[in-house]
Amino acid sequence: NVEWIYAGATPPEASLLTQKETTNREWILPSQTTLQQLYHLAMMGDIPAIEKMLENLVEQDQQLAPFVAELSKLTANFQTKKIRQFLVTFVKTESHS
Q: Measure the CA angle with vertex 8, ends 67 and 39; round to 5°.
A: 20
Say what the pTM is: 0.67
> If DSSP states are collapsed to H, E and C, what string results for the chain?
CCCCCCCCCCCHHHHHHHHCCCCHHHCCCCCHHHHHHHHHHHHHCCHHHHHHHHHHHHHHCHHHHHHHHHHHHHHHCCCHHHHHHHHHCCCCCCCCC
In order along its 97 residues, the chain shows pLDDT tens digits of 676 665 554 445 444 444 444 444 477 899 999 999 999 999 999 999 999 999 999 999 999 999 999 999 999 988 899 999 999 988 876 544 4
Rounded to whole angstroms, the Cα distance separating 85 from 67 reads 14
